[in-house]
Amino acid sequence: MKIVVDTNVPAAEACFGALGEVIRVPGREIEPATLAEADALVVRSITRVDAALIEQARGAGSPLRFVGTCTIGTDHVDQQALADHDIAFASAPGCNADAVVDYVLSSLSTLAERQDFRLAERRVGIVGVGNVGGRLLERLTAMGIDCLACDPPRVEAESIEAEGLAGFHDLDTLIDECDVLCLHTPLVSEGPHATRHLLDAQRLAALAPGTLLLNAGRGDCVDGRALRQRLAGQGDITAVLDVWEQEPAIDAALADLAAIATPHIAGYSLDGKLRGTHRIYRALAHHVGLPSRLTLEDLAPAPPVARLVLEAGLSPEEALRLCLRAVYDPRRDHDSLHREARRQGMAKGFDACRARYPLRREAASLELVLGEGARELEPLLAGAGFQVRSELQAPSAERPAVR
């Protein structure tokens, strides 16, 4: 069996090598000729697996029988086209949800430092309460931060008669009442719950001065031109953007106006990528009737920063910022995007940042040991997703502390 795998899928040889011959191809270079002898295709979000790709590949005699995407989102895959050609499909829902939440928390913490506000005093509106938005809501609530949630499809699916019940509100209520607005919706082009340009010019104009808008869902959910005009004209709101219209040839002027602009890497933790690879490995093994003996633990290396010891002297905001940056600092990716865009142009620079993305772990990989003077920080830091213990508790592993 020949398995074509996006170059950016980690541990592909370790996982898929046990099932067949692995052929690595950059995601944007996968085309019908690439699949001429492929029995399976494993991609990430930059490869459009549409009807044209499938029909041309099958028309040329490709034996393709399985497509897997190592991502949460599936809007880059035409599942109906796969079904029409009897091609099995698998995705990895939730695989990088925790990484995206880390991105959101670290970005908010960075802006709180820059703009001199306390995150605990802000109300956060979460639009889309699926794998990512749901975990973000859980963590923020555990950290003591006030949140409002909006998810009309979920309200409808759960037969809730009126929004506002069970903690759900409509989008305009979030716009009116929240200081921070986080988008975590899939891209839906049509229908009663369409999300394309969900934040259109009218809704962007309704954002109160001082609002912080963060989009780590899908770029097309925000009218980028209207957002650029709001930022360039009034300049009274703040934008954090990880996803964009027309990736990788994104609006460079909008990127310059964003407080944090990153190249669709919010979910790019090593942990999240490995979960995605492992999910698709298991799905392909099941599809071909082979056992999946490799575990996720077999793939993950030890984190480069395993433990931090905190003593008295840090405010809650300082402690949270320190710990978040120990696992992820969004300023690095913001600077990288702008640097590579200057060197190579926006489209090539955008893809270069993704292709050469450095090692990044998740909050759950970091153990925090709290000294006697820092124990009041436990609810905040545990709520943020870290492993937390006091010095009186037995260590979870024999690893050297980083002080």
Q: Which residues pair with 260 in a beta bridge?
A: 240
Was 103 annotated as part of a binding site?
Answer: no
Check 218, 230, 282, 360 and give the catalytic one: 218
Check 247, 340, 362, 367 and give the catalytic one: 247
Was 295 annotated as part of a binding site?
Answer: no
**Rounded-to-integer distance, Cα 157 and Cα 168, Å:** 13
Class of domain 97-261: alpha beta
Domain ranges of the chain: 2-91, 97-261, 307-390
Residue 41 backbone class (left: φ over 0; alpha: ψ -120 to 50; beta: rest): beta
DSSP of 297-348? HHHPPPPSS-EEEE-TT--HHHHHHHHHHHH--HHHHHHHHHHHHHHH-HHH
CATH topology identical between 2-91 and 97-261: yes
Question: Among this protein's residues, is 197 annotated catalytic?
Answer: no
From first to last of its 403 residues, the chain has per-residue pLDDT tens of 999 999 999 999 999 999 999 999 999 999 999 999 999 999 998 999 999 999 999 999 999 999 999 998 898 999 999 999 999 999 999 999 999 999 999 999 999 999 999 999 999 999 999 999 999 999 999 999 999 999 998 887 765 444 444 569 999 999 999 999 999 999 999 999 999 999 999 999 999 999 999 999 999 999 999 999 999 999 999 999 999 999 999 999 999 999 999 999 999 999 999 999 999 999 999 999 999 999 998 998 999 999 999 999 999 999 999 999 999 999 999 999 999 999 999 999 999 999 899 989 999 999 999 999 999 999 999 999 999 998 766 555 444 433 3
Check 184, 197, 228, 264 and give the catalytic one: 264
Residue 147, CA distances (Å) to 61, 63, 132, 140, 234 in order: 53, 49, 15, 7, 27
**Rounded-to-integer distance, Cα 132 and Cα 135, Å:** 5
Was 268 annotated as part of a binding site?
Answer: yes
**Rounded-to-integer distance, Cα 139 and Cα 362, Å:** 14
Q: Superfamily assignment of 307-390 in CATH?
A: Erythronate-4-phosphate dehydrogenase, dimerisation domain (3.30.1370.170)
Question: Among this protein's residues, is 218 annotated catalytic?
Answer: yes
Question: Among this protein's residues, is 331 annotated catalytic?
Answer: no
Per the CB < 8 A criterion, the answer to whether 284 and 40 are in contact is yes
Residue 284 backbone class (left: φ over 0; alpha: ψ -120 to 50; beta: rest): alpha
Was 45 annotated as part of a binding site?
Answer: yes
Which helix (H) or strand (E) covers residue 108, if one does?
helix 97-115
Was 242 annotated as part of a binding site?
Answer: yes
CATH architecture of 2-91: 3-Layer(aba) Sandwich (3.40)
